[in-house]
A and B are shown apart, each in its own frame.
Chain A
């Protein structure tokens, strides 16, 4: 592995800090002005993100103009921490990888901001919403733009708190408040892992800056690389809703739908993928580590599909789908080599089609009085033409129908899984990815058919569904275009663009199956899954969930992962705190009180403390003090004698 070296930022690129500063300042203005900004605050929010997008585009083009080996811009703003040998710059890095993330965050972000102007129109907290939304964008940009792991951590926790604020945006709902707290707590478990990983990096190579750490990887022991990698993976799993920290993500759907689209589908939850992709020199250096990442990805993608197929809440189906799709991305970054770029392509494509479908779901809810139960939809294709068509592009894209984007982004990951060197691994992970594709087709088709087709199963108050206003449909249309075209556009251009980050593509590896066979197989399972779902649900479904077998019941209950967390962590935790409160009041306090009384004056009359005769106690202590002084003097006299 060659030493990693980033070029310093020059010219226009030395203004990259503006990307973070603009949304941050906008958030501060919106929070500080309070009600005075209610009338125009949302437009400021949109403008801030849109400006960051335009700037990001300029920087991106500028970066593309640099020669391949110098295609990066590192900028140190000021010394953030400088204590002993621990030096951290408030430093930014704009390179091909952070560049595509900036465009994704600000580009999709702008569309979702625009959509939210309409979606949140009747909400009295709209200004506050946009303040948090801008805060999120600023933190997310810092996360991907930092040039060291402390800056990444800075943004990492920043997006965590923005996510908390937005999940519990409707904080008077107990369920929203609980969901926000759950998200933050589970994320903090991951964050703690990430933090320890950073400490280990510092104590190993004496720096947390990407180039220094990556250059030091070759001299690290295999165990150190493995431990650092596992700690980073724990952080990544927390942020990206991967096994075993996936349970918060579906609950996060308590937040307003634009939040689900931007934070819990397109951007923040993919931060874990970014972390692993960014740290590719670490992950590539250890095969065991890669195997763990691949396993987490494969397991999570199946968990997500299975649970997603059993849910009736339109946003939760999409949330589990997100868990599953990020599983594919983890699979990609775990496979390493050429698959790093494939994972990023899938991440970008997913950003388009999943944001598209979430906003589509929001549009459906908007026209249906916030109904989320797909059992009570049906026949919405006609009253919601635009939403129907745009959602259809997202649906076809995610299940991987050519030539839509998912076909170009997901199928190569499946193929790459079949190309693993060890045969059993090739079959295990390849088949997992393939089965996942079939299941994805099944549950997404179920969602699509139950929502837009079949007989209408609307409730009484929802007799007149209507299409959403233009401010919401225009972003939908743009995202639909992205869902259709992005995969084809990005499938070769993005891997080429990312070559400076992930290295040259290795020679073609031959897997256990040929690429053509895999392509055909994945199309077959997709058509089978979709066809099965269409056949099962085209006539609608019962209005309430019916009793089901073991598998479906387990899937409805999130495969009992929540029950496990509750039984193993929550309940014992509550009992432990209660026991400790009792112990502290009775045990420790009593013990130390007794001890104090013993030392202080030999009196056991502590119960009379309340009467407050301080002087008598002070006096007895003074006597004690005198005795000690006397003892010391005696010792001294003894020495003198």
Chain B
């Protein structure tokens, strides 16, 4: 009944209007600005939920909520929005995470010289670019959102971050810009060979006629941009700097949502537009992903900074998403998309909880903690839960996605899957060692003298973590509502790539359940 409602354009613009409104609030009325930002993000959430309900799961149309408005006629660029199941779950993740992060960042700016309305306006502006990048169905529009999403995050890190924030912000900007440059080249190339259009669905149809070499170069252009964004090994070194310097809430958004643009982009653009090139590059992408899983996990073990540690765990997780995508199986692909959602929730929670520790301690160094569980048992419990979700314990949502990714990869690429499975041991190592060094053992006397370290979860903090914990548990036991939405879009993508799931080697009539 809502099928004709212009969900996507309204959803995209709503936070932009919100950002302008919040920015207009004078500095002195910081509390009002926060309240407006929170309510605004909640309205976006409500609208997203309505859209989720309106989405028809078993429709033959991959893309729904299709809208198109003329933009640059001579280039064939339009404001085209459409969402498939993959985009829909990402939009839902964004809608859930932003209010949580806004509430979690409530006091982040209070102590600084910076303006609170600006900070919250930047968060909403960031939400606008994030929704836009996932809702776009026009390659040029996607590119524009891909580039402008850097701007709010650049200012968030550079102005509101900690430590080497300027260095981190510039590094973040440059890396992304380099990636964007590759993509721009590829976008233009695609326009040239794809029949002078930017419309995604038209380009997919034209894709098969592109000659093999050109398609491989164009694939590479997109892939490099996305591999930097995701990030994949060896393009990852900007992330620990950015994640370490950004305010914890913004870091949650950075790895929880923004980095997913990379893996989403590979699934949405690289695979259907350049099927042959995707198959040709798959071994290389799989190797980079597997290296990323092991390498980043080992680095996470060796970190002494909580936020950098969580950043490295994310790089390892992106390796899992990578192998799932390039395994070209339904389980791998669906697992990867589900992984993007679950990782957003789990690592989002982890960053937010780490932020709560850092705010109390005034330091993000692991060695500045020790025995904190004695002082803040509930907070330590939430950190432990977030850690368990991060190591993909059954009962939490990430288990399902990690299991699907590994199972799907195993059926086509056994050696990669076996090496990647070793990553689950390393995941246990970095999570548990971090837990041990921060919350267990003898109490660090320095903590005892800090009054803030004696305050356990406040009501606001409970409201922040509760929805994430709840979602992680519910999706850990019953992921079907989400996988049912993702599945058709993944299967369509794999059709575009031209691969089929392997059949069981021992096929008897009853197999399959």
Contacts and interface: CB of A to CB of B under 8 A. Distances in A.
B436 A181 contact: yes
A636 interface: yes
B410 A205 contact: no
A81 B192 contact: no
A286 interface: no
B6 interface: no
B302 A192 contact: no
Contacts of B510: 212, 215
Interface residues of A, number: 85
Contacts of B394: 153-155, 157-158
A592 interface: yes
A635 B192 contact: yes
Contact of B441 (A87, A177, A632): A177
Contacts of B154: 614
A180 B435 CA distance: 11
Contact of A219 (B487, B501, B506): B506
Contacts of A173: 441
A10 interface: no
A402 interface: no
Interface string B147-161: 000000010001000
Interface in A134-162: 150, 153-155, 157-158, 161
Interface stretch (A332-340, A343-351, A403-411, A622-630): A622-630
B178 A599 contact: yes
A220 B506 CA distance: 7
B355 interface: no
A635 B483 CA distance: 44
A564 interface: no
A612 B439 CA distance: 37
B299 interface: yes
Interface centre among A34, A172, A203, A596 (most CB of B within 10 A): A203
A90 B295 CA distance: 35
A230 B508 CA distance: 24
A192 B477 CA distance: 21
Interface stretch (A97-105, A194-202, A421-429, A531-539): A194-202
Contact of A577 (B301, B410, B436): B301
B256 interface: no
Contacts of B478: 78, 80
Interface in B478-494: 478-480, 483-484, 487, 491
Contacts of A370: none
Interface string A86-98: 1101100000000
A298 B170 CA distance: 62
Interface stretch (B73-81, B246-254, B419-427): B419-427
B378 A628 contact: no
A217 B381 CA distance: 44
Interface in A162-209: 164, 168, 171-174, 177-178, 180-181, 184-185, 188-189, 191-192, 195-196, 198-200, 202-207, 209
A222 to B, nearest CB: 13
Given A158-B394, A614-B170, A632-B185, A212 B425 contact: no
Interface of A is mostly: helix
A5 to B, nearest CB: 10
Contacts of B504: 85, 202-207
A18 interface: no
Interface in A582-603: 584, 588-589, 591-593, 596, 599-600
A199 B410 contact: yes
Contact of A584 (B237, B331, B406): B237
Contacts of A612: 158, 166-167, 169-170
Given A577-B298, A577-B299, A609 B171 contact: yes
Given A84-B501, A206-B504, A196 B410 contact: yes
A495 B298 CA distance: 48
Given A181-B436, A205-B504, A614-B154, A83 B299 contact: no
B403 interface: yes
Contact of A205 (B429, B441, B506): B506
Contacts of B334: 83-84
Contacts of A90: 477
Pick the most buried of A81, A216, A617, A628: most chain B CB atoms within 10 A of its CB. A81
Contacts of B178: 596, 599-600, 621
> Taking chain B's interface residues, is the majority helix, strand, or loop, or is none over half, making it mixed?
helix
B189 interface: yes
B170 A216 contact: no
A581 B302 contact: yes
A617 B174 contact: yes
A123 interface: no
Interface in B490-513: 491, 501-508, 510-513
B232 to A, nearest CB: 12
B428 A624 contact: no
Contact of B170 (A185, A609, A628): A609
A595 to B, nearest CB: 9
Contact of B188 (A157, A195, A577, A629): A629
A196 B184 CA distance: 41
Interface string B55-80: 00000000000000000000000000
B117 interface: no
B505 A203 contact: yes
A578 B511 CA distance: 48
Interface string A539-582: 00000000000000000000000000000000001001110110
A549 to B, nearest CB: 37
A390 to B, nearest CB: 35
A86 B331 CA distance: 7
A628 B188 contact: yes
B177 interface: yes
Contact of B511 (A172, A212, A593): A212
B373 interface: yes
B181 interface: yes
Contacts of A591: 234
A493 interface: no
A173 B513 CA distance: 47
Given A171-B373, A189-B425, A580 B436 contact: no
B513 A207 contact: yes
Nearest to B236: A588
B147 to A, nearest CB: 10
Contacts of B192: 632, 635-636
Interface in B334-371: 334-335, 371
Among B235, B330, B422, B510: residue with most chain A CB under 10 A: B510
A188 to B, nearest CB: 5
Nearest to B188: A632
Closest 6 CB pairs between A and B? A84-B330, A206-B504, A577-B302, A199-B410, A589-B237, A177-B440
Given A206-B511, A577-B302, A588-B234, 12 more contacts: A81-B479, A81-B480, A85-B501, A86-B404, A86-B408, A171-B439, A172-B441, A196-B410, A199-B407, A614-B174, A617-B170, A617-B173
8 contacts: A84-B330, A87-B512, A196-B417, A199-B410, A202-B410, A204-B506, A596-B174, A636-B192
Interface of A: 31, 34, 78-87, 89-90, 150, 153-155, 157-158, 161, 164, 168, 171-174, 177-178, 180-181, 184-185, 188-189, 191-192, 195-196, 198-200, 202-207, 209, 212, 215-216, 219-220, 224, 573, 576-578, 580-581, 584, 588-589, 591-593, 596, 599-600, 609-612, 614, 617-618, 621, 624-625, 628-629, 632, 635-636
